[in-house]
Amino acid sequence: MIAVLKEHAPDVFNIDTKRGKLRCSITFVRRFLQVHLQWSIRKATRAAQKIPKNTPELCRASFCCQALAIRDLQIPDALRVNIDQAQCVLMDTCGWTYEVKNSKQVTCIRKEEKRAFTILVGVFASGVALPFQAIWKGKTAGSLPSRSARGYAEAEKLGFHFESSMSDNYWSTFATMCSYITHILVPYFNSIKEQLGLLPDQECILELDVWSVHRSEQFRTWMKAAYPWIILDFVPGGCT
């Protein structure tokens, strides 16, 4: 409100009133929106993810499969990792807006145009967290954070990887998944095997969601050919 008034009616702040000069206090703004514009805060809605009716059975079956592999292949907790992608929003439209009270249809401008990136996080059963992989929308290095940005040197020292999606979105792709496996996950697996005195082909477990890229034939075929000792353990759909 202050920005709009300064642009279109800057002199209004110089007018003397009984209570002094005009101030856009929280109370004033709220009253103006509710009384004069008849606006109320509203949120656009969407359907929640449906949980399978047999979720307990699916989770138990998944647990038993992993437990069997751990027992039969003698896989230590330091070689069992769960990875997941999360959206990190830099500027969120959040879906909230002002609209006239009792409106049935609420439109949010640019609701889908978020400024965000994807962060891929891996955590081992031993409690160790792997360096993050940050995926940014774009096809060149210009889409990545500047090397002179605050905190970049520290992130680089911690082993973080910044990668362009090479697409029009910021989600993980086959290429970024291969990069994560090759440059972050496998080096850690190998270092733990060496520390524990295990063979190079000791089986490891990679637990991940049944997301399209993860369960694609391309990714599964590549994993089997490049790292046959990594067991892909998919979390049942809708159970995360």
Question: What pLDDT, on the 0 to 100 scale, is given for residue 101?
Answer: 75
**Is residue 202 scored above 60 in pLDDT?**
yes
Q: Which residues contact 13 (CB under 8 A, 6 or more apart)?
A: 5, 6, 21, 22
Q: What is the mean pLDDT of the chain?
A: 87
CA 70 to CA 50: how far, in whole Å? 30
Full-prediction pTM beyond 0.85? Answer: no
* Average pLDDT score over residue span 137-144: 86
**Is residue 48 scored above 80 in pLDDT?**
no
Question: Letter for the amino acid at 31?
Answer: R
Tens of pLDDT, residue by residue over 58-117, are 999 999 999 999 999 999 999 999 999 988 887 666 666 777 777 777 766 555 556 788
Question: What pLDDT, on the 0 to 100 scale, is given for residue 12?
Answer: 86
**Is residue 206 scored above 90 in pLDDT?**
yes
Which helix (H) or strand (E) segment holds residue 191: the answer is helix 186-196
As beta bridge partners, residue 17 has: 20
Q: Which residues contact 67 (CB under 8 A, 6 or more apart)?
A: none
CA 123 to CA 82: how far, in whole Å? 6
**Is residue 126 scored above 60 in pLDDT?**
yes
Question: What pLDDT, on the 0 to 100 scale, is given for residue 1?
Answer: 82
Question: What pLDDT, on the 0 to 100 scale, is given for residue 26?
Answer: 87
* Backbone phi and psi for residue 81, each to the nearest 5 degrees, phi listed first: -130, 145
CA 157 to CA 168: how far, in whole Å? 29
**Is residue 45 scored above 60 in pLDDT?**
no
Helix, strand, or coil (residue 196): helix
Least confident of 57-61, 105-109, 139-143, 219-223: 105-109
Secondary structure of 66-87 in the HEC alphabet?
Answer: HHHHHHHHCCCHHHEEEEEEEE
CA 155 to CA 169: how far, in whole Å? 23
Structural domains in the chain, sorted by start? 2-37 (no CATH), 55-234 (3.30.420)
**What's the length of the chain?**
240
Question: What pLDDT, on the 0 to 100 scale, is given for residue 49?
Answer: 65
As a whole-number percent, the residues of the chain with pLDDT over 90 amount to 49
Strands (DSSP E) along the chain, which ranges?
16-17, 20-21, 39-43, 80-91, 96-100, 115-124, 133-136, 161-164, 204-208, 230-234
| Cβ pair 199, 158 in contact under 8 A | no
